[in-house]
Chains A and B, each alone.
Chain A
Amino acid sequence: MSATTSVSAARLVLPARLAAGAALLAPFALALAVGGVVLAATGRDALGTYRLLLVQSFGGQIAVANTLVATTPILLAGLATAIAFRAGVFTIGVEGSLYLGAFAAAWVGFTFTDLPGMMLAPLAALMAAVTGALWSAPPAALRAWLGVDEVVSTLMLNYVAILLTSYLVNEHFLAPGVANSMSPLVADQARLQPLLPRTQLTVAFFVALAATALVALVFRATPAGYDLRIAGLSPSFAAATGIGLATVVVGAMLASGLLGGLAGGLQVLGVNYRFIDRFSPGYGFTGIAVALLGRNTPLGVLLAALFFGALANGGAMIQLFSDIPIDLINLLQGTVMILAVVQFGRLRRAAEGVRA
């Protein structure tokens, strides 16, 4: 499949390829322009803010490390979403799996404190992934065998997950002596060690990178990846050629939940060291934006995740160093999401139709 794609891509004339590239970048550029207008209209220096954002996210070793830390959960959530989207499954439930996975990792980390680190950290991460996958099993089954719309079921289950973990941490696993809404810390040996002093860059980022490579491999070189793609492109063709649609849907959603759970678990083991009520600023939803902008390809997801990771890290830093609130990042992200699904071609065709 990929061979034919690259051949046809090579045949494209240069202007067409430039146009295709511009179309990919347009949502980012337009969103930054919208943010710039908002900044300027409220009397802030737009260019200066963006320059500061750039410096804070990429200027120097520590800044880059912090950006990679911020990228990690977004990358995993983006991959999780891309797998499902590719199969034509419109899950928005990664956020829910992420919460359950985070709680599972924290629970393992503060419960089995006698285990050595070599076992405890992997066990916690594994539990996070498995719990995330299990959380996505009910909507997967409902969609595959009863035809229940996965958009609604996963949306509802996100809130159930947030409330359930909130209940668990507040009613049963509250850390002693801590004001509110936090579980006990995971055992020291369960925490991922920083690879760079004064940062939280840990093996977690490289786990996410490995997951990206693995997903790329599955997409390109395995029968499962082929089935996934065909099921997403044309369910009726897939069914006619003997691909079990129910199996593909369930498999894609379980894999999606698994990566979502892992994202939450690594956030606990590498960054927060405990479960915190409502800790996610919407990693799962950022994952949707990332999957869309990356066109559900692993490389695209990686690049888009880096963009949002840089925004999240830079945004948090400029909030410290200037009076620009981090909410600006939400505004940019929301704008990118809308623009990413707007079909610019349709607009152009409509304009041509008017002229004709």
Chain B
Amino acid sequence: MLDLAAAILSAAAPATTAILLAAMGCLVNRQGGIVNIGLEGLMLGGAFAAVAASAAAASWQAGVAAAGAVGALLGLGFSWTITRLGANQIIAGLGLNLVVLGFLGYLLPVRFGVQGTYLPEGVVGLPRIALPLLGNMPLLGPILSPQTPLTYFSWLTIPIIAFILYRTAWGIALRAAGEDEEAARAAGVSALRWRDASTVVAGLLSGLAGAHLALGVVTLFNKNMTAGRGFIALAAVYFGAARPWPTAAAAFLFGVFEAASFRYGSAGLAPQLVQMLPYLVVLISLTLVALRRRWDVRRRAARAADLASIGGAR
């Protein structure tokens, strides 16, 4: 049992990386006022760029850089349709997913003569780097190390984004842009520009998430390789109410689910039921939050009524 738990946990770290990166990007985007449904497309674009560039330059660094750049560019274009052309963000996001999927699905057979899976010669995958001290720790060691550079980077994004959002002027400007366009403008902040910037961050991080899928987990591109992780990342953001640490915790939980669905698949429990958990967890948590909000409102109203009656007696 402990062995199984350890096996799942050590598989959970790489499984979490893509979800965590996309979720952190989505969170920044959400704080900037945009619900990003296009994470799947951004990840997929990044995954393809990673494989193509890694093969072309025979270097994983080039793959990662290309993935980030393609994700950021796609994010900018996506953001532009929303902030400058007034497109509905949900529809534009669904459209982006289809455009990227359709474009790459078209390109693979037409340009590279392959169906669905693209494996050019000389793709260099991400290395697994052992951490000198952490790796030797008794229980956590095998979970923490060795991991890919992007996995370590994904962990770093949590405190970095938390710091920027809540401790810097940038973070205040971004959140102002996200909360109230008018107020932001009054305070001299260009809301649309901050919104665009937040989508570029979402694109960049989602692109890196794609790079991790294509160069870290396996070393190939498949047009179905994101497999709903963009929506799981979105679920993590909703579960964490767009706050960095809770969102990261949800991403890790969902990573554990993903790892478990592979492990349990052979142990007799249907993988589909495990894969359902992130979506159900979010639905339940949204319901509980709404119930609590409603209860709070009622309690406040009751208290106000109490105070009013006291005032009347006096």
Contact = CB atoms under 8 A, between A and B. Distances in A.
A338 B106 contact: no
Interface in A138-184: 138, 142, 146-149, 151-153, 155-157, 159-160, 163-164, 166-167, 170-171
Interface of B: 35, 37, 81, 84-88, 90-92, 94-111, 228, 231, 234-235, 238, 270, 272-273, 275-276, 279-280, 282-283, 286-287, 290-291, 293-294
A44 interface: yes
Interface string A324-345: 1101111111111110111110
A14 interface: no
A336 B92 CA distance: 10
Nearest to A291: B91
Interface in A217-266: none
Interface string A57-98: 000000000000000000000000000000000101000000
A135 interface: no
A90 B90 contact: yes
B238 A152 contact: yes
Nearest to A331: B102
A113 B105 CA distance: 41
Interface string A27-55: 00000000000100010100000000000
B9 to A, nearest CB: 23
Interface of A: 38, 42, 44, 90, 92, 138, 142, 146-149, 151-153, 155-157, 159-160, 163-164, 166-167, 170-171, 282, 285, 288-289, 292, 323-325, 327-338, 340-344, 346-347, 350
Given A153-B286, A338-B91, A327 B101 contact: yes
B286 A148 contact: yes
A132 B178 CA distance: 36
Contacts of A333: 98, 102
A330 B105 contact: yes
Contacts of A331: 98-99, 102-103, 105-106
B290 A146 contact: yes
A156 B291 contact: no
B91 A340 contact: yes
Contacts of B282: 152, 156
Contacts of A167: 270, 272-273, 276
Contact of A341 (B91, B106, B107, B228): B91
Given A163-B275, A342-B85, A42 B92 contact: no
B101 A148 contact: no
A344 B110 CA distance: 33
Most B CB contacts (10 A, CB to CB) among A155, A166, A347 go to: A155
Contact of A347 (B85, B100, B109, B228): B85
A337 B94 contact: yes
A337 B106 contact: no
A148 B86 contact: no
B86 A346 contact: yes
Contacts of B290: 142, 146-148
Contacts of B86: 341-343, 346
A329 B87 contact: no
A28 to B, nearest CB: 14
A26 B267 CA distance: 54
Contacts of B275: 163
Most B CB contacts (10 A, CB to CB) among A164, A325, A335, A346 go to: A325
B106 A350 contact: no
Given A152-B234, A331-B105, 19 more contacts: A38-B106, A42-B107, A90-B90, A148-B290, A156-B283, A157-B283, A159-B276, A167-B276, A288-B91, A323-B110, A324-B106, A325-B108, A329-B102, A330-B102, A333-B98, A341-B92, A343-B85, A343-B86, A346-B86
